[in-house]
Amino acid sequence: MSERKQLQPIEATPVPSQANQNVQGWERIGSLAGGVVMMGKGLRRGGVFGLIQVAIGGVALARGITGHSSAKSLLHKSRQDMQNVRTKIEQAGEQLRSLKANAEAAGRNAKAASNDAAKAPKAEG
């Protein structure tokens, strides 16, 4: 007899949530409008330069539709990284100033102690 294989249900794979939108408002509207205009001009122009114009318009149109710009995300990330580095440098500067102040105070204390020792009469034994 023929054996039928039992069908296994396919588990739903989670759809990755759309990347956060970092293009809003007028910027998004401008991307949509600019993308449509660029694509239209590129189609009318034709040739290699027209194809380039269509491609650039398509990228701008996709940016406006999705509301996400990878270039803007990278720029934002690099700005955050730069701010983190700036914060670390400022903290290191504060630590250096503190160390310098402590070293100067220790130097003054050592000098005062040596002056006191030089002025004090020595006990004769």
- Rounded mean pLDDT of 38-45? 95
| Residue recorded with tokens 């069908």 | 7
* For the chain, domain boundaries: 21-68, 74-118
pTM: 0.53
Residue 119 structure tokens: 């002025």
Q: Report d(CA 44, CA 122) in Å as an integer.
A: 103
- Kindly report the average pLDDT of the chain as a whole number: 86
What digits encode the pLDDT tens for the residues 45-90? 999 999 999 999 999 999 999 999 888 889 999 999 999 999 999 9
